């Protein structure tokens, strides 16, 4: 395992396998009456969130607490940054308090990586975990998605996963395409041309995934489909003309459910826009929608990540 988890690039397929083994153990803990493990007792983790988040922050918070770490949530949005403090100063201040791990969410792509760089220049070797940075990556989300799918399929080798939605602005897509291909799955990403990331043609060839504008053609070929949130404000950016038109072209509607192979899992990182990218029938499809399983897996996977990065070698991981 690497020192930080900034990107899926930081972990190998073997690393992911080990994380999943640990996550499975942690998952069992979730079902116990007393959930605390002593693994990170005496360690302090700061969740430094420069961008609003409810689910990711609480997921990290619960994960840390169940491992007995002291978890502090710091919302840096509009505090020090609006006073003009540099990101470097904010982070050096927070870490000078003597913490053991830093979980960062930032609206700017690349920020956690920059933070890790500044910390290493200052010889402060604290693991940095990316909890989502702008349009770049959301590695723990991708790991929990892959974990959820692995539990369903046994292995992702040879499976075909479709990722559908606002790819341009999605860090979930960028991390998932890396982790899923790393684990042997083939991936097709689907979006209208305006929501395809720039240069995706060259990039997809290099990274080994496929692109399509035609959801109806992709769904019958997919073993699982991951729907991404589409923000309504994208309409004012001219990315698509109306919510109605988006749904007709790219929503997982009730009628489109029939195109999926029976029982094919449906994933969504949340929060959902029901009626826009996903219909209630799809979101609530019994035995098919894994959306709440993703949330529960999120805690287990984040426990595994915290455990491996903070307890590390001594834990015999």
Partner 1 sequence: MSLLIKGASILGRTTADVYVEGGVVREVSTSSTTGPRSTTGPGSTTGPGSTPERVVDADGLVLLPGLVDLHTHLREPGREDAETVLTGSQAAAVGGFTAVLAMANTNPVTDTAEAAERVWELGREAGLVDVQPVGAVTKALAGEELAELGLMARSRARVRVFSDDGRCVGDARVMRRALEYVKAFGGVISQHSQDPALAGPSACCHEGPLSGELGLPGWPGVAEEVIVARDVMLARHTGSRVHVAHVSTAGSVEVIRWAKSAGINVTAEVTPHHLLLTTDLLAGYDPTYKVNPPLRPAEDVEALRQALADGTIDAVATDHAPHARHDKEHAFVDAAFGMLGLETALSVVSTVMVESGLLDWEGVARVMSTNPARIAGLEGHGAAIEPGAPANLTLVDPAASYVVDRADSVSLSRNNPWHERKLTGRVVHTFLRGRETFGG
Q: Is 192 in the site for partner 1 (CB under 8 A)?
A: no
With respect to partner 1, which residue has the nearer C-beta, 89 or 245? 89
Q: Answer yes or no: are the C-beta atoms of 267 and 151 closer than 8 Å.
A: no
Identified binder of partner 1 from the candidate list 3, 10, 62, 110, rule CB under 8 A: 110
With respect to partner 1, which residue has the nearer C-beta, 90 or 279? 90
Identified binder of partner 1 from the candidate list 3, 70, 77, 134, rule CB under 8 A: 134
In whole angstroms, the minimum distance from the beta carbon of 36 to partner 1 comes to: 35
List the structure tokens of 304.
């595994």
List the structure tokens of 248.
């007709």
Q: Is 2 in the site for partner 1 (CB under 8 A)?
A: no
In whole angstroms, the minimum distance from the beta carbon of 141 to partner 1 comes to: 14
In whole angstroms, give the CA distance from residue 184 to residue 64.
30
With respect to partner 1, which residue has the nearer C-beta, 155 or 194? 194
In whole angstroms, give the CA distance from residue 297 to residue 19.
12
**215 secondary structure, DSSP code:** H
Our measurement of the distance from residue 113's CA atom to the centroid of its chain's CA atoms, rounded to an integer in Å, reads 16
Q: Which residue has the tokens 């019994």?
A: 286
Phi, psi of 190 (to 5 degrees): -130, 130
Q: Is 52 in the site for partner 1 (CB under 8 A)?
A: no
Of the candidates 260, 273, 256, the one whose C-alpha atom is nearest the C-alpha of residue 166 is 273
With respect to partner 1, which residue has the nearer C-beta, 36 or 205? 205
Identified binder of partner 1 from the candidate list 24, 29, 37, 108, rule CB under 8 A: 108
Q: Which residue has the tokens 């990218």?
A: 277
With respect to partner 1, which residue has the nearer C-beta, 188 or 288? 188
Parallel, antiparallel or unpaired: strands 70-75 and 44-49: parallel
Binding mask 152-181 for partner 1 (x = CB under 8 A): ----------------x--x--x-------
Reading phi first (left if > 0) and then psi (alpha if -120 to 50, else beta), residue 76 is in: alpha
With respect to partner 1, which residue has the nearer C-beta, 172 or 297? 172
List the structure tokens of 1.
């395992």
Q: Which residue has the tokens 């041309």?
A: 193
First to last CA, the chain: 9
Site for partner 1 in 57-96 (CB under 8 A): 86-89
Binding mask 136-155 for partner 1 (x = CB under 8 A): xx------------------
In whole angstroms, the minimum distance from the beta carbon of 232 to partner 1 comes to: 20
In whole angstroms, the minimum distance from the beta carbon of 268 to partner 1 comes to: 20
In 10 A of CB 126, how many CB atoms?
A: 22
Q: Which residues bind partner 1 (CB under 8 A)?
A: 86-89, 106, 108-111, 113-114, 117-118, 133-137, 168, 171, 174, 197-203, 206
């Amino acid at each position: 395992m690497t020192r930080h988890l900034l990107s899926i690039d930081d972990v190998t397929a073997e690393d992911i396998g080990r994380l999943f083994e640990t996550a499975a153990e942690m998952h069992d803990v979730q079902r116990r009456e007393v959930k605390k493990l002593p693994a990170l007792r005496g360690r302090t983790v700061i969740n430094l969130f420069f961008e609003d988040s409810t689910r990711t922050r609480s997921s990290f918070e619960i994960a840390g607490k169940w491992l007995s770490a002291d978890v502090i949530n710091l919302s840096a949005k509009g505090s020090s940054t609006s006073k003009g403090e540099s990101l470097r100063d904010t982070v050096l201040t927070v870490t000078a308090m003597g913490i053991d791990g830093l979980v960062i969410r930032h609206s700017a792509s690349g920020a956690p990586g920059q933070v890790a760089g500044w910390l290493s220049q200052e010889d402060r070797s604290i693991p940095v975990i990316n909890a989502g940075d702008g349009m770049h990556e959301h590695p723990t989300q991708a790991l929990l998605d892959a974990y959820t799918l692995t539990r369903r399929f046994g292995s992702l080798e040879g499976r075909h996963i479709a990722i559908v939605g606002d790819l341009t602005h999605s860090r979930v897509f960028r991390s998932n395409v890396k982790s899923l291909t790393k684990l042997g799955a083939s991936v097709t990403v689907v979006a209208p041309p305006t929501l395809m990331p720039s240069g995706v043609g060259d990039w997809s060839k290099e990274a080994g995934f496929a692109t399509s504008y035609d959801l109806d053609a992709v769904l019958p070929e997919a073993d699982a489909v991951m729907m991404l949130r589409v923000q309504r404000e994208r309409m004012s950016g001219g990315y698509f003309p109306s919510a109605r038109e988006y749904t007709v072209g790219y929503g997982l509607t009730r009628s489109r459910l029939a195109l999926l192979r029976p029982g094919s899992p449906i994933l969504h990182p949340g929060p959902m826009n029901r009626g826009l990218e996903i219909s209630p029938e799809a979101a609530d499809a019994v035995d098919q929608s894994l959306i709440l399983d993703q949330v529960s897996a999120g805690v287990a996977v984040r426990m595994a990540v915290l455990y491996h990065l903070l307890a590390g070698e001594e834990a015999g991981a």
